[in-house]
Amino acid sequence: MKHIFLNLKRFDIPKEYGGVNSIAPIGEWGSFIVSNTQEQLKKYAGEDVEFAMYFPEAHLISAAGALCEDSPVKVGCQSVYRDDTAAHGNFGAFTTNRTANAAKAIGCTTTIIGHCEERKDKAGILAEAGVTDTKAVNRLLNQEIKKAVSSGLSVLYCIGESSEEQERWKEVLKEQITVGLEGVDKSLVTIAYEPIWAIGPGKIPPDKDYITMIGTYIKEITDGCDVVYGGGLKVDNAEMLASVPVMDGGLIALTRFQGEIGFYPEEYLEIIKTYMGH
């Protein structure tokens, strides 16, 4: 199966507040994106491809509410809490935290966990206590993944190495996978590889050979999990990524990196068209 994921991060913030949203009023942003893409994505209904969009929490209800009958779009949240509600247990006193059951009730069917920004946040909290422990970060992510899966959500699990870790990338990725996915049904998980060392202005992205090497390694140690490129699927690299046999798709974020920077539904559809070859 091919997978085209969309991580919308905080692209909803209007420009007057320092954001990049110019496509819709804040209250209509989530529904606008779903409504302006789902019908066009139906053209791929006969192909083995999944489309999932991960929204900031404020937009989950409107995005899920905009899904039409037989919509090809899956609405997802950006990670879940490591604990959850349970019958005859805690009924929901998780102030400030989004549980997997809450996401499921809203209408989500998938979640993204372990994005480099989430990993950085967890590592930063540990650092405040004077602790540097990547295994602890992966154990926390493992708890989130287990709660997501138990609630019926599929998981896009992000892994990747920083520039400081690049020389020992095998060791880093193996730890993230073995600890993060311990005790997890991998059939419900897709892996996104984020080359953290290559993300950002002026950075040189990995080439086809490097991506092939990484994808091959991940499949070997996960017993064949689907793997997508999480370093940014764009029009510029869509054909190249589509030609890498061991990669099963990509993760889109921004669609425009110059001028009116931001996410635009018509450009998102163009990226998919380029990747799919039609």
pLDDT along the chain (278 residues), means of 10: 97 96 97 98 97 97 97 98 91 91 98 98 97 97 98 98 96 98 97 94 92 98 97 97 98 94 97 98
pTM score: 0.97
Going by C-alpha positions, the residue among 137, 193, 189 that lies closest to residue 166 is: 193
Residue 194 bears catalytic tag: yes
Please give the Cα distance from 55 to 32 (Å, whole number).
12
Give the three-class secondary structure for 158.
Answer: strand
- Residue 212's pLDDT is 98
Give the three-class secondary structure for 198.
Answer: helix
Q: Which position among 50, 118, 161, 194 bears the catalytic label?
A: 194
For the CA atoms of 114, 115, 121, 124, the dihedral, rounded to the nearest 10 degrees, stands at: 80
- Residue 201's pLDDT is 78
Please give the Cα distance from 204 to 209 (Å, whole number).
14
Q: Please name each of the domains of the chain with its CATH number.
A: 2-276 (3.20.20.70)
- Residue 91's pLDDT is 83
E-only strand ranges, 22-72 = 49-55
Going by C-alpha positions, the residue among 248, 253, 209, 196 that lies closest to residue 227 is: 248
Residue 220 bears catalytic tag: no
Q: Which position among 50, 59, 115, 144 bears the catalytic label?
A: 115
- Residue 37's pLDDT is 98
